[in-house]
Amino acid sequence: MKNTFTIAGVMGWPVAHSRSPLIHNHWIRQHQLNGAYGLFPVNPIDLEAAIRGLQALGLAGCNITIPHKVNAMACVDWVDPLARRMGAINTIVVQSDGALHGFNNDGFGFIQSLLESQPNWHANAGPIAVLGAGGAARGVVVSLLDAGATNIRLINRTHSKAQELAQAFGPAVTTVKWEAREDALTGAALLVNTTNQGMDGEPALALRLNKLPVEALVCDAVYIPLETPLLQEARLRGNSTVNGLGMLLHQARPAFQAWFGVLPDVTHALYEEVINTF
Ligand code: NAP
């Protein structure tokens, strides 16, 4: 018998900082649904047992966050091809037969956030410089390729990690050594930071923007603070900017739809509610 009270949540370690309960519970209230979204602190050694427990507990599914996104992929019964290309999952949906399906909506969130801020944006408007080669970079690069990007310059402090990604993603992705990162901004139409630099508690990203065209769009995956030093510098020199909060909010939409049956909107009220917790 199907539960009439739908429960989902987020597994991470630690997870107390996650804004996902706020986002999903906002939508549950907005749509007057019978359900709840909670926090599940899951120690890495318990990850498989916790994921397998989703079905036994009657949950609709869960989000997966740091540090479980890669390892969780091996704990589900089926992985969406897009998530497999990204090498990580951030959403699990329990199917009616109990099977666990894994998805990754980070790239969807990134592109939607970008389009929300720049509706006329095109992925092939010019070279794209992406800094970082971790989990966020994988989602961003795959979504940019799928949106039609043909020239992505991938720049990471540890060059071998950028090379690994470039090899997996094909000729549209080339790598640039960290020391040459400022040259890689020449002629770029889009710059995306997917490193953790500029995040609260981390130093600012060490990157001068003098070679970046002033017409280029600058995006940051980091969302605390909302305006990172990179975005502030870009704004002050005249570049358009997109912060990381839109990516976080938009990635939540398809997961909510899969669990609760409604595709929710990212509204001003939701933005305000999340920003008030920063
Ligand atoms: P990750 O897998 O740990 O990758 C971290 C990246 O940062 C790596 O490329 C790493 O380079 C680089 N890095 C770390 N310290 C550095 C330094 N001192 N100088 C230069 N580069 C450095 O983390 P992630 O999951 O990709 O997350 C990265 C950021 O994106 C985090 O701030 C996270 O909050 C944010 N994020 C936001 C969203 C959203 O929805 N807005 C979604 C996902 C992630 P090396 O390879 O050299 O170590």
Which domain, by its residues, includes 212? Answer: 107-243
Residue 1 lies inside a defined structural domain of this protein: no
- In-domain check, residue 155: yes
Expressed in angstroms, the distance from the first to the final Cα of the chain is 41
Task: Note whether residue 44 is domain-resident.
Answer: yes
- Global pTM reads 0.96
Q: Give the distance (Å) from ligand 1 centre to CA of residue 147.
A: 22
Residue closest via CA to ligand 1's atom 39 equals 248
Tell me: do 219 and 270 sit in the same domain.
no
Domain count, the chain: 2
Note the pLDDT of residue 83: 97
Residue 202 domain-assigned (yes or no)? yes
Q: Given strand 78-79, what is the order of strands in its sheet?
A: 35-41, 6-12, 61-64, 91-94, 100-103, 78-79
Residues 92 and 116 in one domain: no
pLDDT in tens, 76-107: 999 999 999 999 999 999 999 999 999 999 99
Neighbouring-strand partners of residue 173: 152
Q: Is residue 74 part of a domain?
A: yes
Residue at 20 is within a domain: yes
- 127 and 227 housed in the same domain: yes
Residues 6+ away with beta carbon under 8 Å from 205: 131, 193, 195, 197, 198, 228, 229, 230
Atom of ligand 1 nearest to the CA of 137: 26
pLDDT at position 1, please? 41
CATH of the domain at 169: 3.40.50.720
Residue numbers annotated as active site: 69
Residue % of the chain over a pLDDT of 70: 99
Q: Tell whether 227 and 257 lie within a shared domain.
A: no
- 123 confidence band (pLDDT: 50, 70, 90): very high
How many other CB atoms are there within 10 angstroms of residue 163's CB atom?
Answer: 16
Q: What CATH number does the domain containing 62 carry?
A: 3.40.50.10860
The C-alpha atoms of residue 249 and residue 271 are separated, in whole angstroms, by 8
Residue to probe by mutation, ligand 1, list 70, 177, 195, most atoms within 8 Å of CB: 195
Average pLDDT over residues 129-154: 96
pLDDT, tens digit (0-9, with 9 covering 90-100), for 186-239:
999 999 999 999 999 999 999 999 999 999 999 999 999 999 999 999 999 999
Q: What percent of the chain has pLDDT over 90?
A: 97
- Probe target for ligand 1 pocket from 141, 194, 222, with the most ligand atoms within 8 Å of CB: 194
Token reading at 145? 């390729």
- CA–CA dist 189, 186 (Å, integer): 9
Distance, in Å, from the CA atom of 239 to the CA atom of 218, rounded to the nearest integer, reads 7
DSSP letter, residue 248 = H
CB atoms within 10 A of CB 211: 13
* Claim to verify: residue 224 and residue 115 sit in the same structural domain: yes
84 & 132 share domain:
no
* In a shared domain, residues 37 and 161: no
Are 116 and 217 in the same domain?
yes
Mean pLDDT of 115-120: 95
Q: Residues 148-152: what's their mean pLDDT?
A: 98
Together in a domain, 93 and 141: no
| Same domain (yes/no): 234, 114 | yes
pLDDT of residue 274: 96
List, edge to edge, every strand of the sheet that includes 128-131: 173-177, 152-156, 128-131, 190-193, 217-220, 240-242
Are 98 and 198 members of one domain? no
List CB contacts of 14: < 8 A, sequence separation 6 or more: 41
Predicted confidence (pLDDT) per residue in 1-47, tens digit: 445 899 999 999 999 999 999 999 999 999 999 999 999 999 999 99
100 lies in the same domain as 129:
no
pLDDT at 277: 92
Contact 58, 7 (CB under 8 A): yes
**Mean pLDDT estimate for the chain:** 96
